[in-house]
Amino acid sequence: MTTRRHGISRRTLLRRGAVAAAGLSFDIGRRGLAHAAAAAGYVPRPPLPQYVLRIGATALDPDGKQAVKGVTANGVFPGPEIRVRQGDLLQVRVENLLEDEPTSIHWHGLLLPAAMDGVPEISNFPIAPKGVFVYEFPIRQSGTYWYHSHWGFQEQVGLGGPFVIEEADAPKTERDAVVMISDWMHASPKAVYDKLRGGPAKKEAPPMKGMKMGGSMPGGMKMSGGGGADLSDIKYDAFLMNGRSMADPWTLSANAGERIRLRLINAGASTYFRIRLDGHPLQVTHADGLAVQPVEVDHLLMGMAECYDVVVALKAGGSYTLHAVAQDGSGQALGVLHTPDVAPKVNLEMPRFDGRELTYAALSATAPTTLPEGPDRTHRLVLGGDMARYVWTINGQAYPKADPLPIRLGERVRLEMRNTTMMWHPMHLHGHFFRVLQGANELCPLKHTVNVAPSQTVTVEFTADNPGNWFFHCHNLYHLEAGMARVFHYVA
C-alpha cells in the first residue's frame, strides 16, 4: 500500500468510478491526493465525489403493460440518486452509449458555472453518440434537486434522477426518502408531439380555446377542461412514483412518530400533481431545495420540475397511501408509508382535496431575500399559445426563432410574466434563484420554477450574478419543444 500512497492509478480511479456508477459516492483518498498535491506544489482540492452516468437505450416497462424504448442512466429508471454534501466539488462523467442520438444532462436548480449547465447550443455542446463529457462544479447550496436530459424527449422516456445535497451543518436526524413522480406513455413522445404540431390528427377540428372538453383524441392527445383551464394536452398511460406503478407501488416502512423527510420531485414531463398523504398533514420545510419557514398543509400542487420537502410522522400501527394525482384527474401515482407492524396496503381511491392547500403566499424564506442594490431592469413577458398550430410563445416569438433577453451583471432583474393562455406554465430559470414577489414582503420565497396559472400574472426578481447564457423556459416538455423558451444573455 505504501507504494501507492503518493498517487492514485488510473486503474484505481476507473474501478472507483464503477463503484460510483452503482450509485455510491466516495472520497478518492483525501490523504493520497494531499500528498501528491504537496509534492507538486499546488493547493489540494476538496474531496471529489465522483459519479459515472452511462446513458443508453433501455427497454422500460414500469407499468407492466408494454415495453417502451427508453433512455436511461446506468440502465435504471429513475436514474441513480446523486447524493453529495454542501461544499463538495462534484464530478460526474457522462458517457453517451447511444448509437445515434446526442445527449446532455442538466442539473436542475443547481447554481453552477454556465459551462456545466448542460443545455445544448446555449451553454454546452451536446454529447455526441459515443462521446464523453465530464461535468465538474462546486456544490454551493443544499436541498432536493434533480437532473434530467435536456435533449429532445429523453426526459419523457426515462433520463432523469434525484440529486440530493445534504446540509453541511445540519445533523441528519430524520429518515430521508426521495419521492420522484413522473408521467409515462407507451407511445413515442416524438410521434405524439409531431401529431400535435400538425400530423394526421390536425385534420380534426381543433377545439376552441376555453371550451370544456373531456375524453381522449386519437394519437395520445387529449383535451381536458375544468374551471376554464386546459389542464393537460398529453394523454398518459400511467403515473409513477419512484418509477413504480400502482400495481407494484413504492413503499417505505418507518416507526410511528419518527420524522420522515419526503423529498418530493415532480419529474413529470407535462403533468401537474396534487400530493396528499392519507390521514396525515404535510409539514412543508423546503421549496425548490431551499429552507422555508415550516408550514402545515393538507395537500399541495406541484408544477413540473418543482421540488418540495415535507416532513411527516406516521400515526401508530397503520398503512397510509401517498397520492400524487394528476391535475386533470386522469390518474394517480401512489406510494405506501407504513409502520413495521402493518403490511403495506395500497388505497387506490382518489383522495379528496379539501382542507388546507399550499400557496406561494404561505411560503416564507427563513431570512430576508431582498436583493442587494443595483440598477433595475424589467422584462415583461407575455406567455402565449396557439393550440391550433401547437405553438407556444413568449412575447409572440417561438424559440429558437426568438431574441435573447439581455441582462447585465449586477442588475436587479424583474420578470413580469402574464399568462394569456388556458394552460398552466411552470416557468424555470437556469443558474439562478428568483424571489417570487408578494407585495413588500422581505421574506418572499426563493424558487427556480414558478407556476403561472391561466390568466394570471406572476412577478419574480433576481440579481444577475452568474454570467453566461441561461435558458428560461416552460417546464412542460411539449411547450418547451414548441417554443416557450428564451435565453438570458449577459451583456457587457
CB of 391 to Cu ion, least distance (A): 12
Q: Is 96 in the site for Cu ion (CB under 5 A)?
A: no
Do 272 and 324 form a contact (C-beta atoms < 8 A)?
no
**How crowded is residue 443: how many other Cβ atoms within 10 Å of its Cβ?**
16
Looking at the Cβ atoms of 387 and 474, the one nearer to Cu ion is 474
Looking at the Cβ atoms of 98 and 458, the one nearer to Cu ion is 458
Stretch that binds Cu ion, among 272-280, 340-348, 374-382, 417-425 (CB under 5 A): 417-425
Q: Residue 244 has what DSSP assignment?
A: B
CB of 299 to Cu ion, least distance (A): 23
- CA-nearest of 370, 397, 368 to 383 is 397
CB of 162 to Cu ion, least distance (A): 23
What is the torsional sign of CA 275, 71, 425, 294?
A: positive
* Grid cell in block for residue 439: 407585495
Looking at the Cβ atoms of 323 and 425, the one nearer to Cu ion is 425
CA 53 to chain centre: 17
Looking at the Cβ atoms of 124 and 156, the one nearer to Cu ion is 156
> Is the preceding omega at residue 44 within 30 degrees of 0, hence cis?
no
- CA end-to-end distance (rounded Å), the chain: 53
Stretch that binds Cu ion, among 137-145, 149-157, 257-265, 424-432 (CB under 5 A): 424-432
> Given phi > 0 = left and psi -120 to 50 = alpha, else beta, which region is 257?
left
Stretch that binds Cu ion, among 182-190, 209-217, 333-341, 422-430 (CB under 5 A): 422-430
Alpha helices in 268-421 (DSSP H): none
Looking at the Cβ atoms of 363 and 387, the one nearer to Cu ion is 387
CB of 268 to Cu ion, least distance (A): 12
CB of 277 to Cu ion, least distance (A): 28
Looking at the Cβ atoms of 479 and 486, the one nearer to Cu ion is 479
Q: Is 479 in the site for Cu ion (CB under 5 A)?
A: yes
CB of 335 to Cu ion, least distance (A): 27
Q: Is 324 in the site for Cu ion (CB under 5 A)?
A: no
Looking at the Cβ atoms of 298 and 306, the one nearer to Cu ion is 306
Q: Residue 443 has what DSSP assignment?
A: T
C-alpha distance from residue 154 to each of 235, 374, 394 (Å): 17, 39, 24
Q: Is 425 in the site for Cu ion (CB under 5 A)?
A: yes
CA distance 218 to 428: 31
Looking at the Cβ atoms of 95 and 233, the one nearer to Cu ion is 233
Stretch that binds Cu ion, among 61-69, 196-204, 280-288, 425-433 (CB under 5 A): 425-433
Q: Residue 387 has what DSSP assignment?
A: T
SS3 of 191-213: the string is HHHHHHCCCHHHHCCCCCCCCCC
CB of 236 to Cu ion, least distance (A): 16
Residues in the chain: 492
Structural Rg of the chain based on CA atoms: 23
Q: Rule CB under 5 A: which of 457-476 touch Cu ion?
A: 474, 476
Site size toward Cu ion (CB under 5 A) is 4
Q: Is 428 in the site for Cu ion (CB under 5 A)?
A: no
Looking at the Cβ atoms of 276 and 425, the one nearer to Cu ion is 425
Stretch that binds Cu ion, among 165-173, 193-201, 202-210, 478-486 (CB under 5 A): 478-486
Looking at the Cβ atoms of 72 and 476, the one nearer to Cu ion is 476
* Grid cell in block for residue 228: 376554464
CA distance 256 to 254: 6
CB of 68 to Cu ion, least distance (A): 24
**How crowded is residue 103: how many other Cβ atoms within 10 Å of its Cβ?**
28
Residue at grid coordinates 413529470: 268
- Contact set with Cu ion (CB under 5 A): 425, 474, 476, 479
